[in-house]
Each structure stands twice: as structure tokens, then as C-alpha cells.
Amino acid sequence: MDPLAEFFTRFDFRSDLFFSSLLCRIGEFNEPNKSYLHIVHQGAFDMMLSNHVQKRVYQPCAIFCPNSTLHRLNPLDENGISVSCISFDFGEGVTNPLNQALDECVIMPLNQHPELSALSSAVYQEYHSEQPGKAVSIHHLCAYFLIRVIRYGLQQQQLTSGFLCGLCDAKLGKVLTALHQKPAEAWQLDNMAELANMSRSNFAAHFKKVIGISAMDYLTQWRLTLAQRKIRSGLPIALVAEEVGYQYASAFSRIFTAKIGLSPLKWLAKQQQSDQ
């Protein structure tokens, strides 16, 4: 299985097409733990990011915002823009790995990709139809659209850091895949570097440059993301700890609390309360 497919099958990818109509005023998007995909079918607009960067767009496009950083879409005239807005995550209460991918949004002109232009029309039409299987159809269309946009961002080198970039790195790809598939293994910099066929120091520097964080920090984040899903499924904390690479539940709980801000049991109680 290729790394990107392995990633999507490991988590409960969820999409929500929450708006598909004319946007005539500023739309603001920054829901915690969500990533966004906007498909602009028609109209001109300014895209404003939280770092005060502004991009003006006059043509249909897909906008991939792989983190929850505040961004706004501001139509340039009273006609507004026709846009479909999709949010996605990887499970309720589970840290969205795409939030760690990069700090920028990718704008993909649809006129350069006729197949995606057709797909964007299908998303719009499906949303406004009342046919059987509507919700399932929209979910799979959104998932496919997202994968195509990720591919585009990687090919155009617009995704220049984060685990998405790492998956396509000749040396880091095999390491990330191994970490994802075998989180309980006794990973250290030495055996990661050996797998990448690099020296320990060169591997550590290259990993941080490409991914944006150290290899051991990435491993911790990955283990905790897996742990959150397992805890929600009802597994005992001791078993979760063992399955994600911690010999002692107490050590796992300390790290979980330090990184997440709540103990595993208090975190689970909070998620269960929000489900009610």
C-alpha cells in the first residue's frame, strides 16, 4: 500500500460539505481541528490569511487549507461567488494530522485541470440533488478531490514541509511508512537513520527540515493520534499504551497529559460528553 493510501485507510476520514451556494459577504473559516477544501465555481474574490497575506483570484479554483489557520474569502462585488465549502477531519476529538502539514493554503486553478472542473460540478450538483445515496456520494467525491489536490500541491512543490512532503521524500517516505505501520516498535534516531540509509546527524537535520519537527516529536504525535482513536473505541488505557509503544501505562498517561492537556480518562470523558 502506498503511503498516502495507508494514511487515509488508517483513520476515519470524515468530510462535511457544509455550504454550497452564493457567498455574498466575507466568509470566515477557522473551526478547531478542521481542514478545509473550498471549490470556487464562479466569481472573483480576495483570500485573506491570518498572517495578513492577501491573494486575489479571478477564476474558478480549488483552495486547499490543510490546517485550522484563520482564513477569509471576500467576494469582490455584489454578485458574490459560487462556492462549495468542505471541512474534514480524521475522527471526533482526534488530532487532525493535516494540521501539522504546513502553514499555507494551496490555490489550484480548475481551468488547468478539466477533470477536476468536471468533478467540482459533480460535487455541486450532488449537493443540490435529492437522489438516494447523496451523503455517501458527496463524501467519496470530496475524498477523491482532496487526494487530487494533495497530489497537485506536491507536484507543484507548493506543499514544501510537513508529513505530506515527507511521504514523497525518497529517504523519509520509507521511515514515515514504517513509523505509521509499526508505532509500537522501539524507535530511536539510530534505527530510523539506518532505515533511511543516512547518518544519525544528517537524518535528524533532514527530517526536521522536511517535516518541520524532530523525528522523535513526530513519533510522539503519531502515537498520541493513534491512541486517541483507540481510546475512543473503548480499549483499556493499559492496552492502548502498549499498542502505541509505551511499556507502562503511567508513562503513556504522563506524555498524553503533557501534550493533549488532559489525562486519557478525562479526555475520553470530555469527548463522550460532547457526543451527547
What is the structure's pLDDT at 240?
96
Specify the pTM.
Answer: 0.73
| Cα–Cα distances in angstroms (integers) from residue 23 to residues 38, 65, 85, 86, in the given order | 12, 18, 10, 14
Question: What are residue 42's phi and psi, to 5 degrees?
Answer: -160, 145
CA distance 43 to 24: 10
Eight-class DSSP state of 261:
S
Separation CA 168–CA 85 (nearest Å): 28
Domain ranges of the chain: 3-155, 169-275
Judge whether residue 40 has pLDDT over 90: yes
Residue 60 · residue 122 · CB < 8 Å = no
Percent of the chain with pLDDT over 90: 36
The hierarchical CATH code for the domain 169-275 is 1.10.10.60
Q: In this model, does residue 92 exceed pLDDT 70?
A: no
Angle between helices 134-155 and 3-10 (to 10 degrees): 140
The gap between the terminal CA atoms of the chain, to the nearest Å, is 37
- CA nearest to 218, candidates 269, 169, 252, 259: 259
Given this model, what pLDDT does residue 191 score? 95
Instruction: Write out pLDDT tens, residues 229-264.
Output: 899 889 999 999 999 999 999 999 999 999 999 999
Q: How far apart are CA 31 and CA 71, in angstroms?
A: 10
The pLDDT tens digits for 113-155 are 888 888 888 988 898 888 899 889 988 888 888 788 777 777 7
The answer on pLDDT for 66 being more than 90 is no
Gap between the Cα atoms of 271 and 53, Å rounded? 35
Higher pLDDT, 13 or 125: 125
The model's pLDDT over 163-209, given as tens digits with 9 standing for 90+, comes to 777 877 888 988 988 998 899 999 999 999 999 999 999 999 999 99
Confidence of residue 42 (pLDDT cuts 50, 70, 90): very high
Instruction: For domain 3-155, give the fold.
Output: Jelly Rolls (2.60.120)
C-alpha span between 201 and 74 (Å, rounded): 46
